[in-house]
Chains A and B, each alone.
Chain A
Amino acid sequence: MTSAPEIPTLEVRDLQTRFHTRAGVLPVVNKVSFTLGRGKVLGLVGESGSGKSVTGFSIMGLVDAPGRIEGGQVLFQGRDLLRLAEPERRALRGARIAMIFQDPMATLNPVLRIDAQMVEAVHAHARVTRAEALERARQALALMGIPSPEERLKAYPHQLSGGMRQRVAIAIALLHGPELIIADEPTTALDVTIQAQILSEMQKLTRERGTSLIWISHDLSVVAGLADEIAVMYAGRIVEHGTVDQVLDDPQHPYTQGLIASLPSANARGARLRQIPGMAPNLLAMPSGCAFAPRCARASAACGAAMPELSDAAHRVRCFHPGRVELAA
């Protein structure tokens, strides 16, 4: 993107992940491309089933059957992860690329103490003594602003609050100082104050360490304060991608506009909340043209005929009729 010849931390090209179910083949991630520079934060936004989580899992190489990555490239610092053998991928996973999951209760193993889990995570990539591993775990917990890490290490997950558990999970992700963190809705299960604390700490960390971050969320308002760029996904495809200011202040795709309009804060007090009419399409029975056309107030005959391509500008939009047109209420 910039004139510097620097290799981006992550470059995803035409990533395609499909689920082969008995009912048919689901194109869950469909030709997704984006570039993420060093220390940048990308907010990947979309509703449930839009493919944003599977995009994250595909980059991690954690897609399970019946899912299959069937095309594209995932270039991590110039190396195509999809071409690496599993042991090589595993060496990167957790060390250079880490993932944080949505439900902090489910992410930690309920029967193992925090110290056991963290030591295990250290030992997955570093041949150090147990004492050294514990010391690293302690430092990681302290880094996440966890008070009295010594006590927390001896605790079981059920003895910690939800926010504390998520901090532990993030601390585990940070153990090896990864260059890329994929966070799959990590604050969705937390209450708003804890959410804000964790967001600010993640922001600080990415700034200080130059860690790139993909923040997957269905919540535009969370992403707005954290991300540098936003990519909006709909039915497996990116429909709009640009800087936070471009996407939030000047949304071009009617779906993005609908998302922003449906935020409670965007609506007049006491007025009926706006919503996008209709439902997300069934991936098995996709409309022939633009996937959003059936719900779109702006749809024309062209929209029903062919899928629009993502425009090639800095602010990418997948729409035949982009622009700021006031939606009919």
Chain B
Amino acid sequence: MSRANKTFDERSIWWRVGADFLQSRVAVAGLVVLGLIVLAALAAPWITPQNPYDLMQLDVLDARLHPGTPSSSAGYTYWLGTDGQGRDLYSAIVYGLRISLLVGVGSALIAAVLGTLVGLLAAYAGGKVDALLMRLVDLLLSFPTILMALMILAYMGKGVGNVVLTLVLLEWAYYARTARGQALVETRREYVDAARGQGIPPWRILTGHILPNCLPPLLVIGALQVARAITLEATLSFLGLGVPITEPSLGLLISNGYQYLLSNEYWISFFPGLALLATIVAINLVGDQLRDVLNPRLQK
């Protein structure tokens, strides 16, 4: 055990984090599931029998078929059934994952960069700039998220780009608050004084010295925010304000199947819901383990 630790010790900090991460089987399972989901989303055109966004490939006569029914025109079986437009649900889910992941990861990344910059700036500038930025953050975080999202989307209109923009507008505040708090702690560390004593310019100290020390908590928030963004996108699409109906994401698929739930045609909502659940749980498992691994207080 101690020998193993030593070899890791000679590598980088991230190497050690990786080794610690693998200690939890549940988290590894989450990582594997997440990896498979991402792979499936990336390889969508090659592993699905149908392009669910190409209306020419849909057959309205095949609408709302039970799982396992063979296609009437094409030569494949609808293993997960079809939706109200005759889409193969398996294909729709894999393509829907693409949109959900794109929206989730995209918005989380943009929000992370933006929020971190704002947070660092607030911590570094202090005074009025800090107060102003942080009150804005408080304001954003105190509003009900869905309400804000609905307001923004109602103003800007539907579409994947607008959903990403909405999510960014809602989420940067989390990163900003964390980055500021972390940067405030780090700014008081002696290595910052040492860097100043070496004559390194302030912006370089901020980005090159303080930022790397703020990354672990931001990474954890990022992971969990991806899950949040995906859920939020699903919610917005379910409410009919997200992505366009011709390119359904997971949330929109669930929404489309909702009306048939009571007539025993459970699969239209159920399978996309299952995919969404698996994605969110996998991301959260990975995020939780990251948090434990990166938290120095929990280190053994």
Contact = CB atoms under 8 A, between A and B. Distances in A.
Interface in A121-173: 121, 124-125, 156, 158-159, 169, 172
A90 interface: yes
Contacts of A40: none
Interface residues of A, number: 30
Interface stretch (A5-13, A105-113, A213-221, A274-282): A105-113
Contact of A98 (B197, B200, B209): B197
A156 B196 CA distance: 20
A125 B200 CA distance: 8
A172 B198 contact: yes
Interface string B190-202: 1101111111110
Contacts of A111: 13, 212-213, 215
B9 interface: yes
Contacts of A120: 195, 198, 200, 204, 208-209
Contact of B194 (A92, A107, A110, A156): A107
Contacts of B54: none
Given A62-B196, A125-B199, A112 B190 contact: no
Given A93-B199, A124-B201, A169 B194 contact: yes
A280 to B, nearest CB: 23
Kindly state the interface size class of chain B when it binds its partner.
20 to 34
Interface in A77-132: 90-95, 98-99, 101-103, 106-113, 120-121, 124-125
Contacts of A121: 198, 200
Contacts, number: 73
A109 B212 contact: yes
Nearest to B199: A94
A108 B209 CA distance: 10
Interface string B167-209: 0000000000000000000000111011111111100100011
B198 A98 contact: yes
B177 to A, nearest CB: 21
Contacts of A110: 191, 213
Interface string B218-242: 0000000000000000000000000
A112 B209 contact: yes
Nearest to B201: A90
A169 B9 CA distance: 21
A107 B200 contact: no
Contacts of A101: 190, 193-194, 197
B192 to A, nearest CB: 9
B185 to A, nearest CB: 13
A120 B195 CA distance: 9
Nearest to B190: A106
A91 B190 CA distance: 20
Given A106-B189, A107-B191, A159-B10, A112 B212 contact: yes
Given A120-B204, A156-B13, A109 B213 contact: yes
B299 interface: no
B290 to A, nearest CB: 16
Contacts of B200: 94, 120-121, 124
Contacts of B204: 120, 124
Nearest to B189: A106
A269 to B, nearest CB: 39
Given A93-B196, A112-B209, A120-B208, A107 B190 contact: yes
Nearest to A156: B13
Contact of B12 (A62, A103, A125, A156): A156
Contacts of B13: 111, 156
Contacts of B199: 90-95, 124-125
Contacts of A90: 199, 201
Contacts of A60: 197
Interface string B135-148: 00000000000000
Given A98-B198, A106-B190, A111-B215, 5 more contacts: A90-B201, A107-B194, A120-B204, A158-B9, A172-B194
14 contacts: A60-B197, A90-B199, A93-B199, A94-B197, A94-B198, A94-B200, A101-B197, A102-B190, A103-B190, A106-B190, A112-B209, A120-B200, A124-B200, A156-B13
Question: 8 tightest A-B contacts by CB?
Answer: A94-B199, A106-B190, A94-B198, A93-B199, A99-B197, A107-B194, A109-B191, A124-B200
